Structure 1
Amino acid sequence: MKRKTRVTALLLAALVALAVVFSCAVIVCESGHDCSGADCEICLAVASCAGFLRFAGLAAAALAFVLAAFFRCASVVRSRRASFRRQSPVILRVKLLN
């Protein structure tokens, strides 16, 4: 199951990377076209690609912020967990000799 999840994640990452590359390619290739006016389909496609790139950048920044906060909280909880444990002779490995 772990391998299947990893393959799915890699496939989705590759698809997003391809979408970013093709959006950049559309913007570069069609940047100097002869515009036909207000209803120009090429201008609409370029604007759509630019919007996708802007959204992808904001989503990546938000995801990085959320992951950083999550891992920071997880490390704090992990470090504090040891102090919340009950102390007993068994946990402390005290030798009880009578």
Structure 2
Amino acid sequence: MILDLVLLWWVWMAFALVLVILEVAIPGFIFLGFAIGAAITGLLVLFSLFTMGAAVLLLIFAGLSLLAWLGLRHFFALPAGQVKKFDRDIND
């Protein structure tokens, strides 16, 4: 059982890498929160000494992804009351 847990961390890291690649291909902070959640979950699995079931890992992943997405939204948001305006066309 411990051997399975030790081998599971790289699956989470590979999943995080795939999500980062998708974020680069499809920008907009859609996949970045999930990638951060998967990477932190992989680190928790790597450094934890207790066994966790799949349901607990998915719950941890979902919670961490939500926290990461909210943090990214707060960090990259426009200041309150501002709206992005475009004064000229990109084709001009």
Q: TM-score range by the shorter chain?
A: 0.3 to 0.5
Asked which structure has the greater RCO (Cα within 8 Å, sep 6+), the reply is 2
TM-score with structure 1 setting the length: 0.35
Greater percentage in helix: 1
Which has the larger Rg?
1
TM-score with structure 2 setting the length: 0.36
